[in-house]
Structure 1
Amino acid sequence: MAIISKIRQRAGIAIIFIALGLALFLVGSDILQTGGLRGGNDPVVGEIDGEEITYTEFNNYLEPLKANFAMQAGRQPDEQTMQMLREQAWQMIVFEKVYLPEIEKLGLGVGKEELRAMLMGDSLFVHPQVLAAFRDSTGKFSRQLVEQYLQFVKQNPQMAAQWRNFEEGLKQDRLQTKYRNMMQHSVYATSWEGKREYEAQNSRVEIKYVFVPYASLPDSVVKVTDADLERYLNQYRERFPAEDAVSLEYVVFEVKPSREDSLALQQELRDLAKALAVAKDDSLLVMRESDTQAQYGWYAPNQIPDGVFSEERPLIKGGIYGPFLQDNRYMLVKVIDVKEDSVEYVRAAHILFRPAGDKAEDKADAKRRAQEVLEKLKAGEDFAKMARIYGTDGTAAKGGDLGWFGRNVMVEPFEKAVFSADKPGLLPYLVETEFGYHIVKIIHPKTNKKYKIATIDRVLAPGQEAYNEAYEKAQIFLSEVTNVQDFRKKVEENPALVLQRADRVKPASRAIAGLNNAREVIRWAFKEETPVGKSPSLFEIPEENKVVVAIVTERYSQDKVDINYYRDILTAEVTKEKKGEYIINKMKEIKAASKSLDEIATAYGNVTVNTATVPLNATAIGVTGFNPTAVGRAFGLKNVGDRTPPFAAESGVFVMQLVSTQPAAEIADYSQYKKQLVDRQKGSTPFFMDQALRKIYEVKDYRGKFF
């Protein structure tokens, strides 16, 4: 009790310290700590402006971040947190070696008075991290709390050092903000550009067109060879950069809980139910014994885990309920207390019959069908079964269950019907709303009770025997394959296995299809000594209860573009290109140049003539999809009646004829459109600025080889 009392006395200082610890974690710590050992066998995790960033140097940035996290979280960071910390450390290095030289060239800085203003100045100028940390009881920023905290810090050398690092982080954050703002404020649009933007939005042409989509032809009408792919790749080289990547094939052996695991958990839950029934401190027991999502406090019915409420079983004070199975978790619930509340909730299910149209006979037909099903339900048919058969909305798959809901959620007639019911069961009449006719079942009648509950959840996890069984199966599979052909053959022979593929995996990737924690697999795949097409390897992924056997099928290098890397994309693009040629040649065969659009549509077959009004800034014509090329060709027609020859666009082949032009009217002031341009450019400036700087300084990231 004495310890708790002291904590309460120091609560204000403690909260501030925690908040500043979080700020320090977010902004950065020991930002100026650089250096480290170079040369020797120190691995290189990146390059910036030709300078190697060694593992040791990177670690000099990372370790303080880990220490800060451990201090404020009371535990060491897990792998997910480490990913975030490594990224933060890398961005700190990039800032110092890329942004800082540019900032210094411009003479930007943060003086003592400015730093003081960021800590204790006007609330509009105080740094957001400080603003969030030092608030009084009314929620307003308090300079007095900052001053009190600084006096407290002076008495603790370790905290004083951390505070200096925090200030350094604030200064660098302010420098980056100044640099970004300077670049954003350099954006400008001329009156001519404003006029052009206005015309792009308000100039229109009306056209008639025939459109033949590429998708209307089977791929078999054209033949695509590797030579075609090479030609297309060389023609559009800038669209297909070389990248380091691998392709994998793998099989997953699931580690599933055994019957023994289930029985052991059931016994644990029985013991926990007894402990929960007599516990004097329910909250402590819940926090200690829950695996994932412990709940403790007052909850409305719609917030209580599904399955706790039952039509036959009321929730009473002191009752222990469960275990309930929900998403592979077993849950125990204790009702600690019950009280009346001002808000009412009800749980209902329905079957909706929508009219086919707006006519009176459509409504009558829907009502007749609903009444027939209602009579079946009155005679004893299962409601959930009927809902799955006849339901016409998203609840049908759930047996019509709408869950718990309060007032002012459903349309008025429906709400009136369900909140008027005083007992569970089928309403003996149809409820008509603007959506149609509803058959309604009250699962739990309206209640204004709130429940103070304690919930313990336990995950049904596989035991060691289950792991051993899956591991043994994976080992046997691994021992029987030496190359990719064996790998595929063994999967075909075993119906319990599924061959999975991951194409073009990047070095820094952390997941592949079906595996969210595949970092170890990916890191292995990128090792130089890992062969291609042979020597598969085994990996355990305990976070997902899986054992994986993987083999590398392709490896790609950033030094050379390989058509296999882009094969799918190249094949799709060349197929479209050849289909375009095929369609245009067919247009020539039917002598489209000498025919009207209607005659072209008839002669070609299965296409129609359409009309569209198109603005200059559009990227599509009608419902033909993304076709900016076609928009450009439409505006290239000068005189009414002019027509294009058949041409290939992004999604198909067009023939267009100009019907009318609607030029944008002259206006006196284009400032509104200038502002639109500037605002758009300002929004994208930070991104393009960052990309440009990283290109200028040749930032290369090799972290994927190590983490």
Structure 2
Amino acid sequence: MSVIQSIRDKAAWIIIGAIALALIAFIVQDALQGGGRGLFSGNSTTLGKVNGTSIDLRDFEARYKMAEDNYRNQNYPVNDQLRSQIRESLWNEYVEDALMTDEYAKLGITISDKEVGDILYGDNPPQMLKQQFTDSTGRFNAAAAYQAIRSLKKGTPQYNSFWGEFVPALEKSRQREKFTALVGKSMYVPKWLLEKTNAENSQRAAISYVNVPYSSIPDSSITVSNEDVQDYINKHKDAYQQENGRTLIYVSFDASPTSADSAKIKDDIAKQKDALAAANTTAEIQTVMANSGSETPYFDGYVLSSHMQMGNADTLRKLADGQIIGPYQDGPNFTMAKMIGRRQMPDSVKCRHILIKIGDQQGQARTDSAAKKLIDSIQAAIAGGASFDSMVAKYSDDGGSKEKRGDLNPGEYEFNSLQFSNLSKEFAEVIFYGTPGEKKVVKVENQSYSGYHYIEVLSQKKVETAFKIAYISHAIVPTDETINTASGRASQFAAASRDTKQFDENATKEKLNKLQADVKESDFMIMGLGESREIIRWAFNDAKRGSVAEHAYQVGDKFVVPAVAGVSEKGTMSVEKARPLVEYKVRNEKKADNIVKKIGSASTLEAVAQATGQQVFNNDSISFGSTFIPNVGNELKVLGASFNKDYQSKISGPIKGEIGVFVIKVNNISAVPNPNFDVKAQQQAIQQQMGSMFGYRVMEIMKKSADIKDNRIKFF
């Protein structure tokens, strides 16, 4: 039984979670996308520095390769997006390690061996362990997890992965929890401040006002010069800072499958129909699928009706044995399906077993015949009344099942039908195809071990019809001709466009849609285009403003020719870059000055209205605790002025707001008592909320204040 043995001998469950958790332990995930060229491009091996602490490329790439290999072993699609996520996760971990290691030491934040035990086997174990060692009642079996971890052998990849990556990641995570809790507990909200805030928020104001909207003055009448924009930027520098960036323009040439490409793939699958119809045995079906190049492997097992979630499941269930349908489109594929057979099968089973291995056992060689003789004698002894539990304890080579595990007795296991393909075929067929009470000896041979199982089926649940179906499937992809045509057009465009002027002219001539994107050097994706790391690396490493790529880049089903339309250096934005963000604000400031001149020395709202051609409005429901004024909007300056008692005896001066210039008169200020105000409850709630938020934000604050040099763009 391969799953049981892998828990004991190889601990495959550790590989599944160890590297993934190690990578994300400290991560604020950006979900970026990767790519890259040679691992050691250039002479330097310094990937970056954090406050003078170097991050070595070779160490980084060694850990990256281990992570990628583990994902590949788990059958994850190792594509550019996953590669970028791994690299981004690793980078964040290195940065935070460099920032926090000394801080933890100064604060005395350490993790003892006892704490490690609590992390692994306590009330809140890691999700990966919890999934693997939760019994049928939903309880975590800490004893089984402990035994499995103890079975790891020193020096093996599994041991090194667990104790070298997984556990250190858990320790770092616990250290961060302690740190954020420590910072969070330092937050305090004084009682007087809450009482004052409650009193202010209970206030209500009634006002009369005149609003002269900026839209009443045509934009065309206001000129905004570069000097105006620069002056505004100088007054608000913090709001207009930028990272090192590039503004790209690009055109793309479609290489997606044509209707002719789709028709050819469908026809190729249809040609396999006679061969699939004639195939009856498992070997024959596998041969047909191999010859057809099917991208869907043959599963020589049954799938429960309730687990068939595909769009045409009802049609497939109605097929007669041997009947074939298709080719039909199934998502991005064309598929042809043949009904092999159906049977009744449970969704879950409970069984018990005794395993006798063939080979070296406890320093002695056990032959096939000796193993068979021993399993037969065990079967006879149990049939004669011997205790199953005692036989397990004395003879079974499945060490992971020798002790009681929650509701499971020695030798017992529970499996669901989705685990069928993970079990040894001979073992799975006995427990899922047999009947409760059935006892059987089977021989199993797989990569993990060879041996004999004595199996008893204890119970089965949720029995329903299950189907065995063979699928021949091919992705709908473009032909070489389609790809070459698109690639050729893109190459010709790039060759004819050696600067942005020619780029624009040729795009217009060929009626191509020219798109624009702003990117940073840490980006892996271009919005609207997808995974485009190679284009971004070109823009930062090899290109200058006005440069056009010498060749096209393939991005998904497109060939893309990019050009650098703008270069932004880290620091305060240039006038050109900031103008789209600033121009309307400067224009409104100038409009506000004109409006103030119109108002002049008017001393009543009626006079203001007459001078500006507007009306006097009333608002009786302004709340101090709100940021929104009904029928006005988010005008915080107006809201604040509405509670100024000086404006009860006279009108306010002109207030330059977001949408216009306001003049107000306060008619009344009152208060609405809050009978549910509980100062202690609010104090606790706010301190907890602020502490939690600040505890996690402090890490980002530390990053911003640190001297971080990121050289990743040079390497990948």
Q: Check if 1:663 corresponds to 2:663.
A: no
Matched, 1:289 2:294: yes
SS in 2 for 1:305: coil
Alignment-derived partner of residue 43 in structure 2 = 41
Shift of residue 26 of structure 1?
1.1
**Cα offset, 1:49, TM superposition:** 0.8
Alignment partner, residue 371 of structure 1: none
Task: Give the equivalent residue in structure 1 for 2:138.
Answer: 139
| Separation in 1, partners of 2:689, 2:262 | 58
How many Å separate the matches in 1 of 2:583 and 2:708?
32
User: After the TM superposition, which residues 35-114 of structure 1 pair with which residues of structure 2 at under 5 Å, given as runs?
Assistant: 41-70=43-72, 72-74=73-75, 77-114=78-115
SS at match of 1:210: strand
Aligned in 2, Cα 1:195/1:128: closer, same or farther, shift over 3 Å?
Answer: farther
1:501 paired to 2:511: no
Is 2:27 the counterpart of 1:25?
Answer: no
- C-alpha distance in 1 between matches for 2:566 and 2:496: 21
Q: Residues 324, 641 of structure 1: CA spacing in aligned structure 2 closer, same or farther, 3 A cutoff? A: farther
Residue 525 of structure 1 corresponds to 539
Aligned to 1:162: 161
Conserved 8 A contact 1:300-1:451:
no
1:461 aligned onto 2:471 = no
1:460-512 deviations in whole A, cap 9, x for unaligned?
221111111111111222222222111111111222x1111113x11112222
Change (3 A) 1:517 1:695: closer
Is the contact made by 1:478 and 1:537 (CA closer than 8 Å) also made in structure 2? yes
Distance in structure 1 (CA, Å) of the matches to 2:515 and 2:198: 51
**Partner of 2:508: helix, strand, or coil?**
helix
Match of 1:514 in 2: 528
Contact 1:38/1:54, CA 8 A, preserved across alignment: no
Cα distance in 2 for partners of 1:270, 1:110 equals 63
* Deviation, structure 1 residue 87: 1.6
Contact 1:584–1:647 (CA<8 Å) still a contact in 2? no
Q: 1:491 aligns with which of 507, 519, 539?
A: 507
Q: Pick from 604, 629, 632: which aligns with 1:594?
A: 604
> Matched residues in 1 for 2:332 and 2:674: separation?
66
Instruction: Determine whether 1:199 maps to 2:209.
Output: no
| C-alpha displacement of 1:106 | 0.6
Match for 2:619: what amino acid?
T
Name the TM-score, length of structure 2 as normaliser.
0.71
Identity of aligned residues (%): 23
How far the C-alpha of 1:325 sits from its partner, in A, is 4.4
CA contact (8 A) 1:30 1:64 kept: no
CA distance in 1, matches of 2:293, 2:40: 47
Any idea what the Cα deviations from partners look like across 1:667-690, whole Å, max 9, x if unmatched?
785123223421331232134201
Closer/same/farther in 2, CA of residues 17 and 476 from structure 1, 3 Å limit: closer
**CA offsets, 1:49-86, max 9 Å, x none?**
1334342343344333334334x425783322211111
The 8 Å contact of residues 283 and 296 in structure 1, kept in 2 or not, is answered as no
Query: Aligned ranges for residues 268-347 of structure 1 at < 5 Å?
Result: 268-271=268-271, 273=273, 289-290=294-295, 297=303, 304-305=310-311, 315-318=318-321, 320-325=324-329, 329-332=333-336
Gaps of 5+ in 2: 27-38, 345-464
When residues 581 and 324 of structure 1 are mapped into structure 2, their CA distance, relative to the original with a 3 A threshold, is farther
- 1:117 partner amino acid: D
Deviation of 1:656 (Å): 2.3
1:537 is matched with which residue? 550
Give the deviation of 1:209 after TM superposition: 3.0
**1:249 aligns to what?**
249
Deviation of 1:218 (Å): 4.5
Partner of 2:585: 573
Q: Could you tell me which of 691, 704, 707 is aligned with 2:713?
A: 704
- Partner amino acid for 1:131? K
Is this contact kept in 2: 1:242–1:559, CA < 8 A? Answer: yes
Q: Distance in 1 between matches of 2:260 and 2:194?
A: 73
CA contact (8 A) 1:204 1:664 kept: yes
1:702 to 1:219, Cα distance in 2 relative to 1, 3 A: farther
State the shift of 1:43 in Å: 4.5
Distance 1:564 1:555 in 2: 11
Residue 620 of structure 1: CA displacement? 1.9
Query: Residues 342-370 of structure 1: CA distance to partner in whole angstroms, max 9, x if unpaired?
Result: xxxxxxxxxxxxxxxxxxxxxxxxxxxxx
For residues 630-650 of structure 1, the C-alpha deviation after alignment (integer angstroms, 9 at most, x for no partner) is 222222344546432332222
5+ long unaligned stretches in structure 1: 1-5, 32-36, 341-448
Query: Per the alignment, do residues 579 and 150 of structure 1 end up closer, same or farther by CA in structure 2, a change over 3 Å counting?
Result: same
Distance 1:50 1:624, change over 3 A: farther
Distance 2:306 2:614 in 1: 59
The 1:280–1:247 alpha-carbon spacing in structure 2 relative to 1, beyond 3 Å, is: farther
CA shift at 1:138, angstroms? 3.1
For residue 617 of structure 1, what is the aligned residue in structure 2? 625
Confirm or deny: 8 A CA contact 1:209 1:657 kept in the other structure: yes
Alpha-carbon spacing, 1:100–1:332, altered in 2? closer, same or farther (3 Å): same
Q: Residue 462 and residue 76 in structure 1: after superposition, are their counterparts in 2 closer, same or farther (change >3 A)? A: closer
The structure-2 alpha-carbon separation of the partners of 1:279 and 1:101, relative to structure 1 and needing over 3 Å to count, comes to farther
Higher relative contact order (CA 8 A, sep 6+): 2
Report the secondary structure of 1:46's partner residue: strand
Q: CA deviation digits over 1:602-660, x for unaligned, max 9?
A: 76457672425222232221243333232222223445464323322223332222232
1:499–1:61 Cα change, 3 Å: same
CA deviation profile, 1:561-609 (whole Å, cap 9, x unmatched): 3222222112232233233334434444xx754342xx75576457672
State the TM-score, normalized to the length of structure 1.
0.71
What's the offset of the Cα at 1:232? Answer: 0.6
Measure, in 2, the Cα distance between the counterparts of 1:62 and 1:299: 41
Q: Secondary structure in 1 aligned to 2:575?
A: coil
Q: CA RMSD in A?
A: 4.1
Query: Per-residue deviation at 1:105?
Result: 0.3
Kept in 1: contact 2:10–2:152 (CA 8 A): no
1:237 corresponding residue in structure 2: 237
For the residues of structure 2 that align with 1:211 and 1:269, how far apart are their CA atoms? 71
Counterpart amino acid of residue 616 in structure 1:
F
Q: Distance in 2 between matches of 1:182 and 1:327?
A: 51
Alignment-derived partner of residue 635 in structure 2: 627
Q: Is the 8 A contact 2:652 2:663 kept in 1?
A: yes
CA distance in 1, matches of 2:548, 2:42: 31
Assess, with a 3 A threshold, how the Cα gap between structure 1 residues 158 and 258 changes in structure 2: closer, same or farther.
Answer: closer
Match of 1:653 in 2: 661
**C-alpha separation in 2, matches of 1:632 and 1:20:** 59
The SS at the match of 1:531 is coil
Specify whether residues 222 and 688 from structure 1 end up closer, same or farther in structure 2 by C-alpha distance, changes over 3 A only.
same
For 1:558, the equivalent position in structure 2 comes to: 570
1:230 is displaced (CA, Å) by 0.3
Q: Deviations over 1:542-566 (max 9, x none)?
A: 5x21111111111111155322222
- The corresponding residue for 2:181 is 181
- C-alpha distance in 2, partners of 1:274/1:15? 44
Q: 1:251-302, CA deviations, whole angstroms, 9 ceiling, x for partnerless residues? A: 111114345423321212313555665566699969983579x999456799
Alignment partners' CA distance in 2, 1:585 and 1:77:
66
How does 1:113-132 map onto structure 2 within 5 Å?
113-120=114-121, 122-124=122-124, 126-132=125-131
State the alpha-carbon separation in 2 of the partners of residues 99 and 499 from structure 1: 46
- The question of whether the paired residues in 2 share the 8 Å contact of 1:593 and 1:645 is answered with no
